[in-house]
Amino acid sequence: MKKLITSIFACFALVILLSFDAQAQEALKQKPSPLGMVTYTFEDTYVKVTYGRPHLRGREAFTETAELAPLGKIWRTGANEATEITVTDTVKMAGETVPTGTYSLFTIPGAKSWTIILNKDVGQWGAYKYDEENDLVRFEVPVNQSDEMFEPFTVRFDQANGEVSLQMIWANTMVSIPIEF
């Protein structure tokens, strides 16, 4: 009987150990900055943004000395690969014409406004090989404060008063890019 109880206990312990091991392996597979994707459809046209979602995790963003997205420096607008935006028909973003295609979305955060950059060179890791000569358009948008705090960098579409905007929010900083279809 003692051997049976010992065997049952050993099996139970092995099952628990394997369960924890599987959970640990799954946790290791998850990226610290998971992939995010948002889309907006208007009639036959859609806009899709694919981006890495970094989290603050006690770090600062959008200051001159910030570890994450420091002011005045080119930023991949997310984490990992450079953020990409796809449009399936010509749209206007902040008044600038953007033809059908996929573009890297870079930004230069500022205290009062951000420079938004759509660049024709896609598939980049970060902004390490960013080349201004490949810019399709550049424009400025004002910085606003979000009513709530966002731990992960968040991209979303907002439709208010019949207008559509692409919002990028992190911490309590938000920029909105108006889109015309």
**pTM (global) more than 0.75:** yes
Across the range 151-163, mean pLDDT stands at 94
Instruction: Determine which helix (DSSP H) or strand (DSSP E) holds 113, and give its type and residue range.
Output: strand 113-119
Contact 59, 14 (CB under 8 A): no
d(CA 156, CA 37): 9
Of the chain, the percentage scoring pLDDT greater than 70 comes to: 83
Q: 159 and 110 share a domain? A: yes
Across the range 12-39, mean pLDDT stands at 62
Of the chain, the percentage scoring pLDDT greater than 90 comes to: 80
Q: 10 and 44 share a domain? A: no
Give 19's pLDDT tier (boundaries 50, 70, 90).
low
pLDDT at residue 7 is higher than 70: no
pLDDT at residue 147 is higher than 80: yes
d(CA 153, CA 49): 13
Domain span including residue 125:
32-180
Q: 94 and 155 share a domain? A: yes
- Distance set, CA 57 to CA 12, 16, 115, 170 (Å): 37, 30, 25, 12
Q: 23 and 104 share a domain? A: no
Q: 95 and 9 share a domain? A: no
Domain count of the chain? 2
Q: Write the pLDDT tens digit of every residue in 53-100.
A: 999 999 999 999 998 999 999 999 999 999 999 999 999 999 999 999
Q: 16 and 67 share a domain? A: no
